[in-house]
Amino acid sequence: MRILVTGAAGFFGHHLVARLLEQEWVTQVVGLVRVGKVGTLARLGVVVQILAGAGESRRLELVHHDLRSPINRFTAGEIGEVDAILHVGAETHVDRSIQDPQSFVESNVLGTLHLLEFARRLPGLKWFNYFSTDEVYGPQPNGHLSLEGDPYNATNPYSASKAGAEQLCLAFANTYSLPVFVTNTMNLFGERQHPEKFIPKVIRSIQRGEKLIIHADPTRTIPGSRFYLYARDAADGLIFCLQNAEQRGRYNLVGSEEIDNLDLALRIGRIMDSMVRYELVDFHSSRPGHDLRYALSGEKLAGMGWRPATDFSAALRRTVLWTLEHPEWL
């Protein structure tokens, strides 16, 4: 297969590109890249070095394009025909979406529309994946796991933009018979993540001896929690869906362990053999749009035969130690 990956210079995008290129049935990956607030070609440099060493650099082709603009005939010619499109590029940070909601609507909704318009004119397209988030379902009470297709309850501009893009994809599947499937995932982590994200932020705070702010409930006693998922496992899960999905299907990619953010910070402190200075803050009251707990059910994919392969503690340790050895990413 020849596969187009959007956001290839992003955190998850470059992990997905690397994992795809390890598959014998993938003949070429076309990476659509935009170097913006979080995208950087330095991530893909790692992939390029590996390919060059193996004499397989032709298997990765990069096309520079900002999806906030339509894909014109010249860019379409650069991309060429592809068998599958994995649309993982997006603006993803809740804080920035609260500060600048327009840029999130432009990138995540309008950008998805432009890609769908390109996709529906491709002959022989087998799959179009929209890579979405748990946050479209909104905050969940303790013990509840969101199922595929539960009602939307977006509570911030980021999650609303992802929900809107999901609906566009499903509308194109219905109207134009585009072969769409949607994946929703939870918080990803791994090597070369942007320092605005929680795990690299914790590492940096511990290194600098700074107080870490951890959002909690109004009583400031219950920290927020997530099912963190190692990026390489998320890439494997998406590849599994690419091989097993149903048209208009929805699939949750979920980490194996729910962990609250205070426990996570303390685990990172133990790996670094350092003390963690922290303060629990009622984050939602001070900044509406932040939610205490997101949670997805992973039973559908588990029933199909996929679960994350990497032990969470091992993946966390690997990520922390790698980041300490590469401080430029902080």
Q: For the segment 74-92, what is each residue's pLDDT rounded down to a tens digit?
A: 999 999 999 999 999 999 8
Q: Taking a C-beta distance cutoff of 8 angstroms, is the pair 107, 92 a contact?
A: no
Q: What is the pLDDT of residues 268-282, one digit of tens each?
A: 999 999 999 999 998
CATH of span 2-189+227-253? 3.40.50.720
Residue 24 a catalytic site member: no
Contact call for residues 1 and 25 (beta carbons, < 8 A): yes
Residues 2 and 27 sit within 8 Å (Cβ to Cβ): yes
pLDDT for res 7? 95
Residues near 238 by beta carbon (within 8 Å), at least 6 away in sequence? 16, 86, 88, 129, 131, 183, 253
Single out the catalytic residue among 130, 137, 158, 278: 158
Ordered by start, the domain boundaries in the chain are 2-189+227-253, 198-226+258-293+310-329
Q: Say what the pLDDT of residue 193 is.
A: 94
Measure the CA–CA gap between 222 and 262, rounded to whole angstroms: 9
What is residue 41's predicted lDDT score, i.e. its pLDDT?
A: 79
Which one is catalytic: 134, 233, 258, 291? 134
pLDDT in tens, 31-50: 999 877 666 778 888 777 77
Q: Which two tokens stand for residue 195?
A: 């320092």
Which listed residue (91, 135, 191, 291) is catalytic? 135
- Using a cut of 0.85, tell me whether the model's pTM lies above it: yes
> Among this protein's residues, is 135 annotated catalytic?
yes
Length of the chain: 330
Residue 116 one-letter amino acid: L
For 183: left if phi > 0, alpha if psi spans -120 to 50, otherwise beta; the answer is beta
Tokens of 10: 């992003």
Question: What is the CATH superfamily name and number for domain 198-226+258-293+310-329?
Answer: UDP-galactose 4-epimerase, domain 1 (3.90.25.10)
At 37, is the secondary structure helix, strand, or coil?
Answer: coil
pLDDT at 300 > cutoff 90: yes
Catalytic residue status for 106? no
Tokens of 306: 């996929």
